[in-house]
Structure 1
Amino acid sequence: MKQIVAFSLAFLALSLSGNSQEKKQKDQNAIKDMCGCYEVTFNFTETFSFSEDSLYKPSKTKVDKGLEWAQLVEDEDNKISIQHLLQVGRPDSPHIVKHWRQDWLFENTDFYMYNGDNEWVFENKSKADVKGQWTQKVYQVDDSPRYEGSSTWVHVDGKSYWENTTTAPLPRREYTKRSDYNVTLRGNRQEITDYGWVHDQDNAKVIREKGKEDVVLANEKGYNTYVKVDDSRCQAAQDWWKANQEKWAKVRRKWDEVYGRDKDLVLETKVDNKPLYKHLFADEVSEEKEINITIESFVKK
């Protein structure tokens, strides 16, 4: 009888392990389905205002289009990294803009959570909290932190999607125009579709002050569609990445060292009157030593 029970338990464990590995493979496939060349439409509109100021003006509805190449940078069992590149301008002579990056980590326990005013608070979660989950870590154009969150990929009724709500800095379209809030509470849904994928957002514009409860200033809807097109249309972006990937590998290595310190992180907005991306985008900053010094100059002690 004991042998039968032991065999049954072993079979159950093997079955669960197989199911878990199959699920993980589906997750990995969904994440890598976001790679390739896409026609992208960015849509954002403010939906509800909660300001008590009678002169409050909501942000203007914003619709932008572009061609974007999503380059697979790392493809490991527990980590997938995708670099996004915008290809803009004339098709016969396009300009390439290094855009955002997303890293996906399986059962990650280390987090940098945005707290407003260029500060990220380090948090360590238990393994139980993140079991079976993937963390999406999103980075700025200069590979400095932006936002991150952990959730489970869902595959049901022919759909594959991942949902999470987390704090983030103001988006680029806002922080040059708005100073009446300092945190974006981002509700992110990334869903794989038959035409590519969609980034569906329900965001809150939050005023955060120390010692006070958060105040929601307004809500915002974001709906960004990524329509897959032939990879050849993004050839210029692919060529740019081949020519520049070594430099950005050095940048990522330095940031990995900074993140690996596992402590709260506060960054300068500007050094020598320039933001970090302008320093790093300069051709003269290309060697590892220069890159390391430049990034370290933005890290507040």
Structure 2
Amino acid sequence: MMNRKTFAGAALAAALLLGGPAALAADTAVCPTAVRAEQCAKFQQDRQAILAMAGDYKVRFDFRETVSFLPDYAPIPPKQSGGHEVVRVIADTGTAIMLQHLLVVEGKDGKPVVIKHWRQDWAWEPASVLAYQDSGRWAVVPVGAANREGAWSQTVWQTDDSPRYGGVGRWTHDLGVPRWTSGEGLRPLARRDAVRKPPYDRYLAVNRHALTPTGWVHEQDNAKLGPKDGKPATFVHEVVLNTYTKFDGYPVAAADGYWEKTATYWAAVRRAWDEVAARDGGIHVREEAENGSVTGPTLMELADKVAEGTATTPDAIAQARRTISDATRVPGKKA
């Protein structure tokens, strides 16, 4: 019988060779000891669907406000953009998987520039999830036994590894499409909205991921919420379609090179955020329209210095830990 480490490596290698949804057949020969025998086939299919999102992509982002629910609010025009994005598996324990996104853009000098993008963490049958509550506040929320059985949580983190949102849902593999759908959950405004200073201040969202023959899609159904006459109100609905199409006709090596240089730094940053969540039962950090969290500019700049060789990894980690500690102090709570 394979141990968990061997299982994880073998399953990852197999998943990365898969060509699309039709290839996601389960191998029931091995499963981690935490997985009951009757769950093994479904668990393996779920894992392969998550791992299949890793790769090199051309990405298109499409945001559309659809229906207004207030007479004095008019939906804004649709917004589309795109780019090139690398998605890498940076951790896999068998029942927990981390996928890191890295944008590759062309700099002013024509050379590739790598921007660390969002991260998605997947956990099988989670006991809790880090969920957005209100401005600058995320809480570790228990997941009941009935809701976590056979389910996966997805926790999404911002460019500096500060939190964004978390949700729980189940993968399905019928009708020819592996798809995961979350329950409803709150999330902070994305930069595209926050910089406009709109009347709404958060989303109530349902999150979906589905594999396609050429890659995968990330869909969002967002209700944009905010105060109106002293009461919470829904201003407008929005649909979001982010399409990831397999493509490697750009400097993919630049992304892998950046990650090779900064992986140790970012691992320490992740640990620092995890320590705060464990200590405080969640995370308090001020939001900024331009940067997501107030920690963004400092943590990203430190990573760039590590990548450029102008700062050592240990020094950058020490500064990052101080930055996170200073930004996450809870008023009135002793350190």
Residue type of the partner of 2:88? Q
- 1:135-154 to structure 2, matched below 5 A, reads 135-154=153-172
Q: Is the 8 A contact 1:116 1:208 kept in 2?
A: no
**What is the 5 A alignment of 1:230-245?**
230=248, 233-245=251-263
Aligned to 1:196: 215
Determine if the alignment matches structure 1 residue 292 to structure 2 residue 321. yes
Tell me the distance in 1 between the aligned counterparts of 2:213 and 2:90: 24
Q: Secondary structure in 2 aligned to 1:129?
A: helix
1:79-228 to 2 correspondences below 5 Å: 79-89=96-106, 93-164=111-182, 165-207=184-226, 214-228=232-246
- 1:246 and 1:60 map into 2 onto residues whose CA distance is 42
TM, length-normalised to structure 2: 0.78
How many residues were matched structurally?
280
Match of 2:27 in 1: none
Task: Specify whether residues 158 and 200 from structure 1 end up closer, same or farther in structure 2 by C-alpha distance, changes over 3 A only.
Answer: same
Cα deviations across residues 205-235 of structure 1 (Å, max 9, x unaligned)?
01169xx764111000111110012487512
- Give me the TM-score of the superposition, normalised by structure 1: 0.86
For residue 46 of structure 2, give the secondary structure of its aligned residue in structure 1.
helix
Partner residue of 2:71? 52
Q: 1:126 to 1:136 in 2, by over 3 A?
A: same
Distance 1:233 1:95 in 2: 9
d(CA) in 1 for partners of 2:71 and 2:134? 22
Pair 1:73-2:73 in alignment? no
Moved more, 157-166 or 121-130: 121-130
Between stretches 148-157 and 91-100, larger displacement belongs to: 91-100
Question: For structure 1, which segment, 30-39 or 115-124, has the greater mean C-alpha deviation from structure 2 after superposition?
Answer: 115-124
Counterpart AA for 1:256: D
1:71 CA drift (Å): 1.1
Q: 2:40 matched to which residue of 1?
A: 21
Unmatched tracts of structure 1, length 5 or more: 1-15
| Cα offset, 1:186, TM superposition | 1.5
3-state DSSP class of the match of 1:206? Answer: strand
Q: Distance in 2 between matches of 1:101 and 1:22?
A: 27
CA contact (8 A) 1:37 1:233 kept: no
Report if the CA contact (8 A) 2:53-2:216 is conserved: yes
Deviation at 1:70, TM superposition (A): 0.4
The answer to whether the Cα contact below 8 Å between 2:285 and 2:294 also exists between their aligned partners in 1 is no
Change (3 A) 1:156 1:233: farther
Q: Tell me, which stretches of 5 or more residues in structure 2 are unaligned?
A: 1-34, 306-310, 331-335
C-alpha displacement at 1:52, in angstroms?
Answer: 3.3
Please report the RMSD computed on the Cα atoms of aligned residues, expressed in angstroms: 2.4
Counterpart CA distance in 2 for 1:257 and 1:81 is 17
Question: For residue 84 of structure 2, what is the amino acid of its counterpart?
Answer: L
Shift of residue 278, structure 1, vs aligned partner:
0.4
Could you tell me which residue of structure 1 aligns to residue 55 of structure 2?
A: 36
In structure 2, what is the equivalent of residue 5 of structure 1? none
Q: What secondary structure, in the 3-state scheme, does the structure 2 residue paired with 1:152 have?
A: strand
The 2-side partners of 1:278 and 1:236 are apart by: 21
CA–CA separation in structure 1 for the residues paired with 2:143 and 2:208 = 22
Q: Larger radius of gyration, structure 1 or 2?
A: 1
Residue type of the alignment partner of 2:195: T
Cα distance change on mapping 1:222 and 1:248 into 2, 3 Å:
same
Residue 278 of structure 1, aligned match among 297, 302, 314: 297
